[in-house]
Amino acid sequence: MNWKKHNDSLIRRGQILLDFDVINNLDRELDGMNRNKEGRKFVYPDSFIRLIGYMRAHFLPYRQKV
């Protein structure tokens, strides 16, 4: 058995892919959310909040509560 190949496949299995296009589109999404809005403007778009929540949940140690 090729142990190096096996170990590398196990390491890749634990990888996650995060879409950081949210950061690149932050201003555009905020402009759309704040258009014709009365009152206090939004500071963070919904997609950014979801990204932060996902990152927090993913990087918690196993079985740890928030």
Predicted confidence at residue 3, as pLDDT, reads: 92
Predicted confidence at residue 39, as pLDDT, reads: 93
10-residue stretch averages of pLDDT, the chain, 66 residues long: 87 74 86 92 89 81 68
What are the residue ranges spanned by the domains of the chain? 17-66
Dist CA 37 CA 29 (whole Å): 14
Give rounded-to-5 percent helix, strand, coil for the chain.
55, 0, 45
